[in-house]
């Protein structure tokens, strides 16, 4: 089993436990980052895709700003949870599946940290090809070096890959993204390091 499949398997088994132990609302630095990115779009007229919707918390906040957003996740358990909450959500593995449409913004908060460097490059290229001209990408990963499989928080294995600001800028530039912005912030959930990299760029 690949590291990514193992991580998805963990979320399939532990989705409710993960949701119960995670923040319920968007606030603080995460809220400010989302506000800044979505201020570039027109509410009600922009086509937005979220990869890794999880509990739907971020999508709920984005909808409160007046935007329609398509919810997806690679974990069947998360998708089933979202549907039970009355949300439209579909199963989508960003690594293996085609997105199927063209979007104005593709958003992924705390998702790409589960992809290794080769996988993330594949996904970023796929995103680039799935954006309108001048379309936007906004995502977050954890700052640091190396990679690990850990059972922290869920007592089951999840894969994490860490990135530096120069590494991300290089990859995004090579793919063709421009106006790249990377904000380094302390863990927005009020815990300890590793810090987060909040990334946005334009096609």
Predicted local confidence at residue 193, as pLDDT: 65
* Cβ atoms of 128 and 102 closer than 8 Å: no
Report the first-to-last Cα separation within the chain, whole angstroms.
Answer: 34
User: Can you tell me the distance from the alpha carbon of 108 to that of 54, in angstroms, rounded to the nearest whole number?
Assistant: 10
Q: Residues 14-23, buried b or exposed e (16+ Cβ, 10 A)?
A: bbeebbeeee
Which is it for the CA torsion 40, 43, 47, 48, positive or negative? Answer: positive
Is 60 exceeded by the pLDDT of residue 20? yes
Give the position of tokens 């690594």: 95
The residue among 160, 158, 168 whose CA lies nearest residue 194 is 160
Phi, psi of 3 (to 5 degrees): -60, -40
Give the rounded percent of residues in the chain with a pLDDT score beyond 90. Answer: 91
Residue 194, pLDDT score: 74
In which element (H, E) is residue 58 found? Answer: helix 57-64
**Dist. CA 102–CA 160, nearest whole Å:** 29
Q: To which residue do tokens 């990115």 refer? A: 37
The model's pTM: 0.95
Distance from C-alpha of 202 to C-alpha of 190, rounded to nearest angstrom: 29
180-192: b (≥16 Cβ within 10 Å) or e: bebbebeebeeee
Which homologous superfamily is 3-202 in? Vaccinia Virus protein VP39 (3.40.50.150)
Per-residue model confidence as pLDDT tens digits over 115-150:
999 999 999 999 999 999 999 999 999 999 999 999
Mean pLDDT, rounded, for 13-23: 95
C-beta of residue 146 within 8 angstroms of C-beta of residue 117: no
pLDDT bracket for residue 187 (50, 70, 90) = low
């Amino acid at each position: 089993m690949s590291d990514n499949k193992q991580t998805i398997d963990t979320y399939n088994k532990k989705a409710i436990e993960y949701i119960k132990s995670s923040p319920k609302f968007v606030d603080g630095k995460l809220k400010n980052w989302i506000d800044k990115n979505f201020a570039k779009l027109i509410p009600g007229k922009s086509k937005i895709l979220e990869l890794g919707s999880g509990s739907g918390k971020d999508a709920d906040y984005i909808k409160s700003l007046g935007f329609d957003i398509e919810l997806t996740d690679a974990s069947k358990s998360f998708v089933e949870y979202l549907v039970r909450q009355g949300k439209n959500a579909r199963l989508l593995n960003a690594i293996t599946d085609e997105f199927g449409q063209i979007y104005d913004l593709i958003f992924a908060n705390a998702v790409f940290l589960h992809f290794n460097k080769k996988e993330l490059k594949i996904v970023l290229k796929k995103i680039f090809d799935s954006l309108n001209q001048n379309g936007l990408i906004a995502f977050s990963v954890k700052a640091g070096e190396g990679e690990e499989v850990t059972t922290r928080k869920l007592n089951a294995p999840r894969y994490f890959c860490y990135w530096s600001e120069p590494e991300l800028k290089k990859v995004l530039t090579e793919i063709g993204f421009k106006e790249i912005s990377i904000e380094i912030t302390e863990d927005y959930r009020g815990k300890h390091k590793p810090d987060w990299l909040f990334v946005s760029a334009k096609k």
